[in-house]
Structure 1
Amino acid sequence: MIDARKRALAKTLSWRGAAIVLLGFVTYLLTNDIKTVTYVTLFYHTLQLVVFFLHERVWNHVKWGKTKGLFIQMTGLSGSGKTTLSRAVAKKLINEGYKVELMDGDEYRTELCRDLGFSKEDRNSNIRRLGFVGKVLARNNVIAIMATINPYEEIRKEIKELGPFVKTVYMECDLDTLISRDPKGLYRRALSGDIKNFTGISDPFECPEHPDLIINTADESLEESAERMYRFILKETDN
């Protein structure tokens, strides 16, 4: 939970009041003079406020350590490792103190986009809604990672135009590898015709033309991919 402004102000004032009382008490024990207590207390806290103000003004001009929000739109076929990689990267970022939101496509499908199907129009609407959420999060200095198939270049370009804070990460993986790592057999069922509108088989997947980062999960380990994406995000969020 976050303190409301009134509560935060009350805590600040009570802390400053306690400091004034303590300083006055110690000064009185040492000097046994009320006038000296008054002068010392007023001088010390006035000086402290001035120094704090100047200290904050200086740090406001220092760019080191500041970060900005970022919206990562991932794109890749089912089974390419989008969610797994996103979780690994999010964990590393959170451990370093960054604010991160993992936007899992399946989770958002059951909540925000439950009214949408799998036609091209509905898929684009799904990405468009998630794009709006990602934009709001990035605007509030959150690193938002959207782990979805995101198959069409048209909507990826539309999301990219939301601002320079949007970056595209392409999860590249060949079909043979995807089939071999598919425990539910979805690709085999799609190839046999049991599943309709399956991206990469009976529905198109358009490779991104100019992704900001390409990760080939068939050639890299999870640790290697996570480190590359982590370093990429740090570079993009560094002011």
Structure 2
Amino acid sequence: MGVPDNAPGADDLRGRGATIWLTGLPSAGKTTLARAFGERLQDAGHRVEVLDGDEIREFLTAGLGFTREDRDTNVQRIGFVAELLASHGVKVLVPVIAPYADSREAVRKRHQTEGTTYVEVHVATPVDVCAERDVKGLYAKQAAGEISGLTGVDDPYEPPADPDLRIPTHEQSVDESAAMLHAALVERGLA
């Protein structure tokens, strides 16, 4: 719902940055949720950026592959940019797989060291549902033997053991998922 424009502290609330990292399997609904929630935040007057993993790979981390080392480098670079933006009052939504727990933890620690809020959201959609959605055709290509190294199928995905929020996008609508995320941020004084 947000804070009314004339409420005491409304500008402070909207000006408080944070990184909201949405991790999950390919086609789990991370980007769809990030974009829907980002619109909700913008409508409430927050400064918002969505650091979409596919766009980042095209521009910021072009040339990196999908080895464990390259994936870690990708996550650390995105984490650096997210923290920088968040430290300047932006709500940064990061729909990026980030398959390894230690990579995500390093990003969290960077935020803690800098005093910047970090919220880890597990977009908890089962692999069979992701394969049905198959937004980018990756699961079909992997099944046909055209690609390998698909996260959660033939490459590891380490789901967060204790995320700040777990959202079952396969059990609810995008609006319901966005409302769930909004409630969690309101609880933390971020929305």
Distance 2:39 2:29 in 1: 15
Give the CA deviation at 1:98.
Answer: 0.2
- Report the AA paired with residue 76 of structure 1: G
- Contact 1:70-1:237 at 8 Å conserved across structures: no
- Contact 1:75-1:169 at 8 Å conserved across structures: yes
Match of 1:111 in 2: 59
After TM superposition, the score normalised by the length of structure 2 is 0.87
Q: Does 1:64 align with 2:16?
A: no
- Report the AA paired with residue 122 of structure 2: Y
Q: Please point out which of 150, 153, 156 is paired with 1:204.
A: 156
Distance 2:186 2:72 in 1: 29
Secondary structure of residue in 2 paired with 1:190 = helix
- Contact 1:72-1:144 at 8 Å conserved across structures: yes
Q: Please point out which of 143, 166, 176 is paired with 1:214.
A: 166
Give the CA deviation at 1:217.
Answer: 0.9
- Contact 1:191-1:201 at 8 Å conserved across structures: no
Match of 2:22 in 1: 74
Give the CA deviation at 1:182.
Answer: 1.5
* Higher Rg: 1
Match of 1:4 in 2: none
> Cα deviation per residue 1:126-159 (whole Å; 9 max; x = unaligned)?
0100101111111111100111111100101111
Q: Which is helix-richer, 1 or 2?
A: 1
Q: Does 1:233 align with 2:185?
A: yes
Length, aligned pairs only = 178
After TM superposition, the score normalised by the length of structure 1 is 0.70
- Contact 2:18-2:92 at 8 Å conserved across structures: yes
Q: Report % sequence identity.
A: 37
Match of 1:130 in 2: 78
Uncovered stretches (5+) of structure 2, i.e. residues with no partner: 1-6
Q: Which runs of 4+ in 1 moved over 6 A?
A: none
Q: Using CA pairs below 8 Å that are at least 6 residues apart, which structure has the higher relative contact order?
A: 2
Give the CA deviation at 1:184.
Answer: 4.7
Distance 2:103 2:135 in 1: 30
- Report the AA paired with residue 73 of structure 2: S
What value does the CA root-mean-square deviation take over the aligned residues? 1.8
Question: Counterparts in 2 of 1:148-187, with a 5 A limit?
Answer: 148-162=96-110, 163=112, 165-187=117-139
Give the CA deviation at 1:234.
Answer: 3.1
- Report the AA paired with residue 169 of structure 1: V
Q: Please point out which of 144, 155, 159 is paired with 2:92.
A: 144
Distance 1:170 1:183 in 2: 19
> Cα deviation per residue 1:61-110 (whole Å; 9 max; x = unaligned)?
x9732221100111100100000000000000000100001000000101
